Amino acid sequence: MHIHKLRKKIKKKKEGNYLTKKNIIRKLYLNEDEFRKLCIFKGIYPKDYKEIPLKYRKKFYKHKIFYTRNDYLKLSHEKIIQDFRKIKIFLRKYKKFKIVMEDEARSKNIVSNFPKYKLDHIIKERFPVLSYAVEQLDDSLSAVIAYSLLPSNEKLGIKNNLVKLCEDLKNHFHYYIYKTKKIKKAFISVKGYYLQAEILQKKVTWIVPHIYTPYLSKSIDFRLITTFIEYYVSLLKFVLYKLYKLDNLQYPPEENETLKNEKFKHLAYDPYFISIYEAKKNDLEKKKEKKDNKCSREKQRKIKKKGICDKEKENDNALVVNKKNKVNSKKNDDHKDNDKIVPKSLQNDKKAQSEKENKNENNEILKNNEENENKNTPVKHNINDEDNINELFKNYIFYIHNDMPFYILSIIILSCGGQICWKNLYSPFKYESKKITHEIVEAHESIILNEFKYKRNIIQPQYVFDCLNRRKILPCSDYSIDKNLPVHLSPFIEDDNYKNFVKKEEYTINKMLIKNEGNEEKKDSNENDDDEILNSEDELNDAILENHRNVALNNQIELENEDKDTDAIKKKKDLNIYNIKNLKKQEELQRNKIALSKKKRKLYSRIERAEKKQNSKVEKFLKKAKNKKGKNK
C-alpha cells in the first residue's frame, strides 16, 4: 500500500475517535433526556472543540458537542438502557388501557408492576473503595441538603418522594456525625453554615443553608437537578450503610414517630432523648390519674352534702307541724333538732383534712422532682489545656432559644461532648434549673436580668463556632449581649481549596494570629537554648563581636543596593514616559479609523502591513551586518 493511502487511513481512524451527540443518540436509540441521564450517572462529560487536534478539526464544527469513541463504548454496554426501553413500553400500554380502552383494572396493574432502574452497579464501578466515595461527598451532601428545603412541584420537576428521602438522609448523616464526634471546623457565612468533618482520615465539607422561602424561577431546569440528586442519593445510601457498620451502629436508625412529628429531626434517632421523652410522658400520665382521682373524690363529697341538706329540710317541716298541736313537747323537739345540726361542724372538719392531704401530695411531687434533678449534677472543670475536641464542652449545658439556629448548634455542641435544652415539654432540663451554665440568645434587654437571677453565662451563637475553631474555651465576656462581637474568622484559610471563599482582610488577620502563636512557642524554646549555650564569658564576647560584624555588613549591602535602585528607577521612568506617548498616539489613530469609510480602512490596513514587512526586512539586514562585523574582528 502506498504511503499516501496509509496516511489517509490513519487520518480517518483518528477522525473517527470523535463522535457528535446526534450520532451517538441515533446508534443507541435514545432520547436527549435519557442520554443526558445516562451521561450523568456514568460520569461522562463532553469534550471541548479545542481538545481535538488541529489536523482533524476541519471535519467538525465549533458549536457542536463531541464525545470520544471510548465514551460511546461505555454507554453502549450499560444495563440501564434496557430499563429505559421497558419504561417506554409500559407507558404505551398504560395510555392504551387508560385512554383508549378505559380499562381501569389493567391500568392499575400496570402502575403496580411499573419497572424501575437501579444505580447500584454504577456506584460499585465508579467507587470500588469506600475512601474514594468519601472524597466526593462534598458536592453530594450540599446538593441533597439544599434539595430537601425545596417545596415539591412535579410540574417543574421537583418530586415529593425525593424531597422526603433527602430529609431522611440529611438527618441520618448529621446523627452519625455528632454520635461519633467527628466535626472539626464550622463557619458562618452569607450562604449558610459551613461544616467540616474528618471521615476515614479525609476531610468532608458541606453547606447547610439558612432557612428561607425559596423562589422557584422557570429559568432553572429542575429536571436536570433531580437527575443529579438521584445519583447522589444512591451514593449517600451506600456510604452511610458502610460507615454505620464500621462504628457498630444500626442502619437505618430507629426513629420515634412522636418526636418526628414535633420536628426533632436528627434528635429523634438518639436513644438518650427518646428515653427522656418516655419518662416525661409517664410522669404526665401519672399526674393526670391523680387529678382524675381528686375530681372523683370531690364529686362524692358534693353528693353527701346534698343528702344532709335534704334531711335537714324534712326535719324543719316536721317541727312546724308539732308546734301547732303540742306546746309541751317543744323542749324535747328542740333537743332533737340540736342533735341533727351536728353534721355541719363535721363537714368543716372534713374539708380541712382534705386540704392538708392535697398539700402533702404536692410537697411529695416537688421533692421527687428535686431529687431527680440532683442525681446527675455535672462537675465543672477547665479544658483549656486539653487539645481534644470531643470533650471541649464536657459538663456544660446550653439553653438554646427558639430564635437561634437550633439545628446546627445542637450538632456542634453534642459532637463536642456538651448537653442541650430548649423550650419544650420533652427537653432534658427546664429553663429554671440551676444546672444550665450557658444561655444562647440574641441581644435583648429583658434577658440580661437572668444572668444575675440564675447565675449563668448569656452569650451569642458565635461563641460556639469560635471555641470549636480555636479548640479551646474562650472567655464569655467578649461574646456577651452588651458588647460588639469580635471578627468571625474562617478556619479554612490553611486549606488551599478554600482561599477564594475568604476575604483578604480575614486572610491577613488569621495569618497574623497563626504567626503570633508560632512566635510565642519559638521564644520559649529559644530562651531555654540560649541559657544552655551562653554560660561562659568568652562565648558571650564572641557572640557580641559577631553581631557587630553582621550589622556593619548589612549596612554596606543596603548602600550598594540603593545606588543600583536609583539607576533602575530612572530607566523605568524613561520607559514609562515613552510608553505613555505611544499609547496616546495609538488611541488617536483608532479614533480616526472609526471616522473613515470601509474602503479607506482597508487601504490603511494594507499600508500598515506593507510598512511592517519593510521594517522586518530592514531589521534582518541590520542583524546580518552586525554578525559579519563581529566575525571579521
Query: Where in the chain are the domains?
Result: 3-112, 120-253, 323-362, 389-488, 585-621
Question: Mean pLDDT throughout 442-448?
Answer: 60
pLDDT of res. 620: 85
CB count within 10 Å of CB 351 equals 10
What local confidence, expressed as pLDDT, does residue 203 receive? 92
Q: Is residue 377 predicted with pLDDT exceeding 60? A: no
Q: How many C-beta neighbours within 10 Å does residue 118 have?
A: 11
User: Residue 240 contacts by C-beta under 8 Å, 6 or more apart in sequence?
Assistant: 169, 172, 173, 176, 251
Q: Is 181 left (phi over 0), alpha (psi -120 to 50) or beta?
A: left
Higher pLDDT, 194 or 303: 194
> Between helices 80-95 and 104-112, what is the axis angle to 10°?
170
Name which of 330-334, 361-365, 544-548, 590-594 the model is least confident about: 361-365
Q: Which residue has the higher pLDDT, 388 or 541?
A: 388
* Region for 43 from its dihedrals, namely left if φ exceeds 0, alpha if ψ lies in -120 to 50, beta otherwise: left
Q: Which of 250, 255, 279 is nearest to 268 (CA)?
A: 255
Q: Are the beta carbons of 437 and 457 closer than 8 angstroms?
A: yes
Identify the sign of the CA torsion 256, 262, 265, 271.
Answer: negative
Which residue, 346, 318, 347, is CA-closest to 334? 318
Question: pLDDT for 298-333, tens place per residue?
Answer: 766 666 665 655 555 565 555 555 555 554 444 444
- Residue 402 and residue 97: Cα distance in Å, rounded? 54
Alpha helices in 209-270 (DSSP H): 222-246, 257-261
Which range among 229-243, 366-380, 428-442, 502-516 has the greatest average pLDDT?
A: 229-243
Of the two residues 241 and 633, the one the predictor is more confident about is 241
Which one is predicted more confidently, 170 or 544? 170
Q: Which of 88-97, 272-281, 358-367 has the lowest mean pLDDT?
A: 358-367
Over 70: is that where the pLDDT of 610 sits?
A: yes
Rounded mean pLDDT of 53-63? 68
Q: Is the pLDDT of residue 245 over 70?
A: yes
For residue 276, the model assigns a pLDDT of 79
What is the average pLDDT across 411-432? 88
* DSSP single-letter state for residue 153: B
> What's the pLDDT at 55?
66
- Give me the mean pLDDT over the 571-599 stretch: 73
Phi-psi region of 274 (alpha: psi -120 to 50; beta: other; left: phi over 0): alpha
Packing angle between helix 32-42 and helix 21-28, nearest 10 degrees? Answer: 100
| Residues in contact with 275: Cβ distance below 8 Å, sequence separation at least 6, in sequence order | none
For the residues 252-259, what does the mean pLDDT come to?
80
For the chain, what is the mean pLDDT?
Answer: 75
Torsions phi, psi of 459, nearest 5? -135, 170
pLDDT in tens, 489-505: 888 876 555 555 555 55
Question: Which of the given ranges, 37-46, 377-386, 437-446, has the highest pLDDT on average?
Answer: 37-46
Find where cell 444512591 sits.
234
Q: Is the pLDDT of residue 217 over 80?
A: yes
CATH class for the domain made up of 389-488 = alpha beta
Query: What average pLDDT score do residues 196-224 get?
Result: 90
pLDDT tens readout for residues 361-375: 444 433 444 444 444
**Residue 594: pLDDT above 70?**
yes
Q: For residue 186, which phi and psi values (nearest 5 degrees)?
A: -155, 150
Q: How is 610-626 classified by DSSP, letter by letter? A: HHHHHHHHHHHHHHHHH
Confidence of residue 195 (pLDDT cuts 50, 70, 90): very high
Summarize pLDDT for 106-146 with one digit per residue, the tens.
Answer: 888 888 888 889 999 999 999 999 999 999 999 999 999 99
Instruction: Give the residue-averaged pLDDT of 63-72.
Output: 84
Q: What is the mean pLDDT of residues 574-591?
A: 73
Q: What is the pLDDT of residue 544?
A: 61
pLDDT computed for residue 526 by the predictor: 54
Residue 592 confidence (pLDDT) = 77
- Is pLDDT of 173 > 90? yes
Say whether pLDDT at 524 is over 60. Answer: no
> What is the pLDDT at residue 633?
58
For 478-490, write each residue's pLDDT tens digit. 888 888 888 888 8
Conformation bin of residue 265: beta by default, left when phi > 0, alpha when psi is -120 to 50: left
**pLDDT value, residue 330:** 47
What's residue 324's pLDDT? 53
Q: Count the helix, strand and coil residues of the chain and give each as a percent rounded to the nearest 5.
A: 65, 5, 25
Whole-number Å distance between alpha carbons of 326 and 554:
141
Which range is least confidently modeled, 97-111, 330-344, 385-399, 491-505? Answer: 330-344
Exposure string of 451-479, with b = 16+ CB inside 10 Å and e = fewer, is eeeeebbbbbbebbbbbbbebbeeeeeeb
The region of weakest confidence among 118-127, 216-225, 353-362, 506-515 is 353-362
Residue listed under C-alpha cell 440501564: 80
% of the chain surpassing 90 pLDDT: 25
